[in-house]
């Protein structure tokens, strides 16, 4: 064993003595952490390379792992749990020194395939950290759903929970990753019906009278009088321990001769209406929405894993916040340069080939969050035509080619983007620098790559 180990919690778990026996005076060390001190600072101070959590309280374990996964410096740290039922929040359950060493070596080897892993790698957003984590855990962990009685859907994703405590928009985010071909379905887990308005699965079901909508109904045997044809609940015919028709007062002594009993019917005690089938109504506990069961939304729960496309982006230094632009009429920079150069030559022959360029610089300010960037990308997608093309030259700069578009048309798009409301009190122009360029002002473009470099920092 050639790595330092930190133990958070008591050192009295199964296999602890075996772990201690591996320690030599000149080799790696084991540190027992103080529960009252910050776990991240203790890890960094003692150069911990593997952490073992012997914690009985679920909330404390999740809080501890969340602190680690929220740190740009140590979010990929291998974390083991002593309790098997907490493995869904960590990398694995600690069982032996051999098993721990094997997993550590595999994770270290995968981590070394990342570009600039020791640098900052633009990992301020939790989405990038999480996807990078899944990349380094290939074959060990995937994005698996777990039963969660507290969740509105009764399912949650524990690994996301330790990266991001607010799970409000997790389903939407996973949906976007599927659409962007970053995630693919690994396994079907469950399907269920949920509220059509708030997606909650916490629903009450009730039966109603189809006439007056009362829920005060009962299923009972009915009697049919052969003499007058009267039919009603059995209880209404019972008089002094014998059946008497409530309409014609005939004594009903022999079933099959005087009366019969049709199939069970429903009877409303509020309006006295009889019916064969009630209306089945659902009522959401979370938002109070009521609707027929046919109107409920059907949802499916799956386990997910990274696609090859995602693994490629991550291995070369993915910035998730900016990668969302790569699915909007995206072409690689080389083709983008060719389009500009070709359009420039065609414009010389025919003015109708005039085009415009939009340069979108996204601020790398730490206060700009990924949700705001995603909102801008979706708004950009909404205003672009199928013929418009986009590329990303570097981490924070997006270029858009608008063919057959004079500068006036480009300014309309620019204004729409600038006025996007990204958060309370802030528009897109507060976190972006968007500028439009006309091909008529650029002249004949001999080298589009050099041109874009020159325009990149032009005010």
Give the model confidence (pLDDT) of 270-319 as tens digits. Answer: 998 888 889 999 999 999 999 999 999 999 999 999 998 888 778 766 55
Please report the pLDDT score of residue 327 as a whole number.
56
Regarding predicted confidence, which is higher, 84 or 428? 84
Least confident residue range of 4-18, 74-88, 107-121, 310-324: 310-324
Specify the pLDDT at position 328: 56
Quick count: other Cβ atoms within 10 Å of Cβ 145? 21
Binned at pLDDT 50, 70 and 90, residue 322 comes out as: very low
Is-contact 357 440, C-beta < 8 A? no
- Percentage of the chain exceeding pLDDT 70: 87
For the chain, the domains span 1-112, 210-277, 319-456
Given pLDDT bands bounded at 50, 70 and 90, which one contains residue 368? low
**Full-model pTM:** 0.66
Angle value at C-alpha 282, between 276 and 285, nearest 5 degrees: 150
Angle among Cα 337, 339, 340 to the nearest 5 degrees reads 65
Side-chain half-sphere exposure of 137, counting CA atoms within 13 A:
21
pLDDT at 349 exceeding the cut of 70: yes
As a whole number of angstroms, the distance between CA 82 and CA 5 comes to 14
Confidence band for 261, pLDDT divided at 50, 70 and 90? confident
Class of domain 1-112 as given by CATH: alpha beta
CB-CB contact of 309 with 323 (8 Å)? no
Predicted confidence at residue 208, as pLDDT, reads 94
Average the pLDDT over 24-29 and give the result: 66
Strand pairing of 259-260 and 222-225?
antiparallel
- Note whether 279 and 291 are within 8 A (CB): no
Token pair of 156, please?
A: 């949650």
**Pick among 3.40.640.10, 3.30.540.10, 3.30.450.190, 3.30.70.270: CATH of 319-456:** 3.30.70.270
Checking if the pLDDT of 369 tops 60, the result is no
Instruction: Give the CA distances from residue 140 to residues 102, 104, 115, 134, 407, in Å, rounded to whole numbers and listed in that order.
Output: 11, 11, 21, 9, 52
Question: Cα(322)–Cα(337) distance, rounded to whole angstroms?
Answer: 20
Q: What is the mean pLDDT of the chain?
A: 84
pLDDT at 121 over 50: no
How sure is the predictor about 351, in pLDDT bands with cuts at 50, 70 and 90?
confident
Q: Which of 65-74, 325-334, 345-354, 416-425 has the highest mean pLDDT?
A: 65-74
**Cα distance between residue 182 and residue 203, in whole Å:** 33
Higher pLDDT, 118 or 198: 198
Token pair, residue 10, equals 């008591």
């Amino acid at each position: 064993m050639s790595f330092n180990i930190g133990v958070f919690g008591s050192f009295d778990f199964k296999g602890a003595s075996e772990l201690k026996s591996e320690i030599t005076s000149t080799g790696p060390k084991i540190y027992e952490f103080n529960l009252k001190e910050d776990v991240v600072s203790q890890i960094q101070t003692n150069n911990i390379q593997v952490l073992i959590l012997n914690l009985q309280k679920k909330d404390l374990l999740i809080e501890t792992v969340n602190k680690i996964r929220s740190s740009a410096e140590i979010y990929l740290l291998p974390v083991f749990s002593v309790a098997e039922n907490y493995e869904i929040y960590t990398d694995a359950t600690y069982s032996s020194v051999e098993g721990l060493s094997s997993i550590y070596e595999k994770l270290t080897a995968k981590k070394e395939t990342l570009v600039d892993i020791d640098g900052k790698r633009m990992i301020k957003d939790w989405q990038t950290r999480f996807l990078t984590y899944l990349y380094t855990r290939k074959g060990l962990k995937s994005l698996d759903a777990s039963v969660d009685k507290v969740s509105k859907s009764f399912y949650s994703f524990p690994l996301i929970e330790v990266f991001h405590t607010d799970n409000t928009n997790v389903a939407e985010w996973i949906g976007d990753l599927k659409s962007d071909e970053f995630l693919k379905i690994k396994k079907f887990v469950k399907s269920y019906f949920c509220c059509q308005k708030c997606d909650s699965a916490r629903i009450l079901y009730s039966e109603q009278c189809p006439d007056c909508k009362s829920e005060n109904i009962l299923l009972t045997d009915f009697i049919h009088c052969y003499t007058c044809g009267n039919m009603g609940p059995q209880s209404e015919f019972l008089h002094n321990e014998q059946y008497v028709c409530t309409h014609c007062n005939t004594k009903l002594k022999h079933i099959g001769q005087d009366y019969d009993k049709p199939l069970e019917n429903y009877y409303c005690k509020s309006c006295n209406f009889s019916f064969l089938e009630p209306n089945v109504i659902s009522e959401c506990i979370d938002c109070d929405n009521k609707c027929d069961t046919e109107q409920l939304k059907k949802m499916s729960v799956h386990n997910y894993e990274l696609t090859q496309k995602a693994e490629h982006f991550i291995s070369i230094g993915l910035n998730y916040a900016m990668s969302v632009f790569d699915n909007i009429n995206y072409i690689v920079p080389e083709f983008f340069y060719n389009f500009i150069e070709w359009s420039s030559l065609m414009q010389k022959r025919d003015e109708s080939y005039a085009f415009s360029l939009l340069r979108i610089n996204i601020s790398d300010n730490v206060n700009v969050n990924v949700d705001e960037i995603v909102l801008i990308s979706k708004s950009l997608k909404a205003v672009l035509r199928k013929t418009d093309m986009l590329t990303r030259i570097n981490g924070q700069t997006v270029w858009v080619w608008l063919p057959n578009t004079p500068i006036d048309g480009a300014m309309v798009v620019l204004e729409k983007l600038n006025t996007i409301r990204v958060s309370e009190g802030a528009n897109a122009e507060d976190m972006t620098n968007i500028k439009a360029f006309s091909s008529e002002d650029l002249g004949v473009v001999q080298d589009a790559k050099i041109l874009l470099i020159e325009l990149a920092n032009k005010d």
